């Protein structure tokens, strides 16, 4: 193989790599934007629910959400369960807000596994919410 062919092969490989990197960066930015928007909407839903719902309703919701995650094989969220119980035992509604902020930060802060787990938790939140407060047609 001539030096020119080696250079062309290298250039081609480098161009493929940089194109892949640009695609990855674009998708990563889309995920960040979507995550920020989802967290913002979730926080609005959560705040409204915590203000307008009784402690008993919030407790039932938490139990249903936790069961949905367990049923889906998401048993790794023991800390979530423990912190949820602590939030329920405190009558101060700001505790719920702090709980949400803490677990969102911990799940969305690093790694694809955590990102996938966060997505699954939010999916189970939506499913549980829909089963407790179905939309009227």
- Between the CA of residue 126 and those of 10, 19, 110, what are the distances in Å? 48, 36, 23
Phi-psi region of 41 (alpha: psi -120 to 50; beta: other; left: phi over 0): alpha
Mean pLDDT of the chain: 80
Contact 58, 50 (CB under 8 A): yes
pLDDT tens, residue by residue, 24-81: 899 989 988 998 898 899 889 888 888 888 888 888 888 888 888 777 766 556 667 7
Closest C-alpha among 75, 83, 131, 124 to residue 106: 83
């Amino acid at each position: 193989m001539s030096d020119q062919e080696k250079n062309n092969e290298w250039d081609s490989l480098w161009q493929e790599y940089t194109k892949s990197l640009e695609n990855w960066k674009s998708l990563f930015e889309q995920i960040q934007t979507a995550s920020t928007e989802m967290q913002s909407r979730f926080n609005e839903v959560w705040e409204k629910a915590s203000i307008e719902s009784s402690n008993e309703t919030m407790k039932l919701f938490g139990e249903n959400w936790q069961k949905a995650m367990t049923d889906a094989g998401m048993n790794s969220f023991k800390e979530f369960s423990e912190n949820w119980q602590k939030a329920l035992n405190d009558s101060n509604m700001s505790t719920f807000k702090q709980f949400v902020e803490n677990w969102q930060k911990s799940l969305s802060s690093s790694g694809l596994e955590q990102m996938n787990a966060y997505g699954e938790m939010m999916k189970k939140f939506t499913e549980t919410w829909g089963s407790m407060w179905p939309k009227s047609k």
